[in-house]
Structure 1
Amino acid sequence: MNEAIAALVRRHDPDRFLTALFAPPQRRDALLTLYAFNHELARAREVASEPPLALIRLQWWREVVEGETRRHEVAAPLSEAIAAGKLNPADLLAIIEAREAEAYGDFETLADWRGWLLAGAGGLAVAAAFALGAPRPAEARPFGAAYGAAGLLRATGVLAAQGTCLLPRDLLARHGLSAEAFIDDPACAAAQAALRDVVREGRLLLAEAGRTALPRAAAAAALPAVLARRDLACWPAVAVPRRLGDRLAVTFAAVSGRILPRT
């Protein structure tokens, strides 16, 4: 295992680090490298003061995926995994495109927002399933998108503090809100009602995922959905940080092969 990559993912993406532990050992490095890459893409928005600056950072990663050699703790193993056929460049470029849309965070409609979730968090699950050798990696998409919806709920306060709202305008307008009003008071009644709509969307994605049976070898790509199900079931009373019950739920799902209840 690449210890530096593992430490980075464990520190910055503990949920996916936990789930990656259940990947076959010979495929775990590629999976952790993918998750480290995803963290670097997320940082593009977090550290940039303006969307164009985030796009510059994302373009740097696009060039790495397209074959540029860069000396970087994540770029170098990423290039190696691509060259070895362990990660699919098309999957990675699709994730970058979703991050580019996120840099502006201006989703007009709920359909646009769903598309972003399916391409971003969902696309990451697709790339993970490819890394694990799934014959039909696209089947992992709703699992990842459901985790993305739940993760957005968990991050609402942090995002608002950063001046960011990633909810679609039509959903906000349904509750008499603008993005600016949501950012100003994400705890107000209207904002909480909007977030309940996000919970509902997340549950719909879980229901779609529950109709899919991934091969056992690719289960680690879908395991974040176990955490999404727990978060969506108890929102807004989610545990931060994760508790023993969350870790046990992931472990049981990995050992039993039952990621979600069948729908």
Structure 2
Amino acid sequence: MPEAPEADLAGFVRAHDPDRFLCTLFAPAAARPALFALTAFNHELARAREAASNPIAAQIRLQWWRDAVEEAAAGRPARRHEVATPLATAIGAGLLDPAALLAMIEAREAETEEDGLETEQDFVAWLRGTSGGWSAAAGRALGADPEAAEVLRALGAAYGLAGVLRSVPAHAARGRCLLPRDRLAATGLSAESVVATPHAPTVGALAAEMAAEGLEALRGARRDIPRGAVAAALPAVLAARDLMRLAAGREVPAPRGIGDRLAVTLAGLRGRV
């Protein structure tokens, strides 16, 4: 594919990940292209399983991205792709850490397993590596030190949890369930039953319970994030609002309403979440 200019990449992110697009607007202008590339990369990883007809095809897609990152890290010419090209530019400029990107790919491997995420420990690790991986990598791109990046990882994982819980019906429509099997079994559920009846009261009760737990963890999380890296923390603002809705058995509005956008804007202007 031809190389996309910065405006096109921003448009790509706005279309496919409007939440993180809004958050990125509160990053310094010079850092935004790298964050847009990171977000577009994350989107491509997230859709690897959705766009593939089987787990092996998904693994091939992930390997393509692994090769693209490793080639960019080695200084080889960027692949001509609307996302891989700007991603390589950000890697070459030292704004994105190849190791962090490879870790995000590795975390997505769990989605290609036929049996899904077996335990809650696996589920948490997956959240920290995927959505949390975006927040940690974005924070490092914005100058956060390793300790602050790990705080951001926890905040990002909370956003990932909210995303999984609000998307249970959408995932079920594609024949998928990303909730951990041990947690499902403890409630008398299975991945197959969730796919068959995603709106069942027992599924809603489990989602509300997990949302309440996630909200409690998020409220207790450290928030000492450098002001310059606040864009990487802003998804936590949406996570808190979404988890509160889900814990109360309410749906998350789609698209986002003015209240959600205003909450992110105010936190971004204050420079803290």
TM-score band, normalised by shorter chain: over 0.9
After TM superposition, which residue ranges in structure 1, 4 or more long, deviate above 6 angstroms? none
User: Where in structure 2 are the equivalents of 1:203-242 lying within 5 Å?
Assistant: 203-209=215-221, 211-235=222-246, 236-242=250-256
| Contact map agreement 1:125 1:141 (CA 8 A) in 2 | yes
CA shift at 1:18, angstroms?
0.5
Q: How far off its partner does 1:120 sit?
A: 1.1
Corresponding residue for 2:166?
Answer: 154
Q: How far apart are residue 63 of structure 1 and its match? A: 0.4
Kindly indicate whether the alpha-carbon contact (under 8 Å) linking 2:228 and 2:271 is maintained by their aligned counterparts in 1: no
Structure 2 residue 78 is the aligned partner of structure 1 residue 64: no
State the 1:201 CA deviation. Answer: 3.6
Q: CA deviation at 1:243?
A: 0.4
| Percent of paired sites with the same residue | 55
Q: Is residue 227–residue 272 contact of structure 2 (8 Å, CA) maintained in 1?
A: no
Equivalent of 1:248 in 262, 266, 269: 262
Q: Distance in 2 between matches of 1:53 and 1:205?
A: 36
| Distance in 1 separating the partners of 2:163 and 2:116 | 18
Give the superposition deviation at 1:254: 0.8
Pairs within 5 Å for 1:62-101: 62-67=66-71, 69-101=78-110
Q: Distance in 2 between matches of 1:208 and 1:62?
A: 35
What is the distance in 1 between the residues matched to 2:17 and 2:50? 15
Q: Does 1:171 align with 2:183?
A: yes
Superposition deviation, residue 172 in structure 1? 0.3
Whether the aligned pair in 1 keeps the contact of 2:241 and 2:260 (CA below 8 Å) is yes
Q: From the superposition, tell whether residues 208 and 112 of structure 1 become closer, same or farther in structure 2 (CA, over 3 Å).
A: farther
The letter of the residue matching 1:196 is A
Q: What secondary structure, in the 3-state scheme, does the structure 1 residue paired with 2:253 have?
A: coil
Q: Does 1:25 align with 2:37?
A: no
Q: Tell me, in whole angstroms, the C-alpha distance in 2 between the residues paired with 1:84 and 1:138.
A: 23
Measured against aligned partners, the alpha-carbon deviations of 1:49-81 in whole angstroms (never above 9, x if no partner) come to 111110000000000110153110110111111
Structure 1: 5+ residue stretches without partners: none
Look up the SS of the partner of 2:71 in the other structure: coil
Residue 203 (structure 2) aligned to one of 166, 188, 191? 191
| Deviation readout 1:85-141 (Å, 9 max, x if unpaired) | 000011101110111112226112111111111111111110110111112322211
In the alignment, which residue of structure 1 is the partner of 2:75? none
Aligned mates of 1:155, 1:12 — CA distance in 2:
15
Whether contact under 8 Å (1:121, 1:147) holds in the other structure is: yes
Tell me how far apart the structure 2 counterparts of residues 51 and 197 of structure 1 sit (CA, whole Å).
Answer: 30
Aligned residues: 258
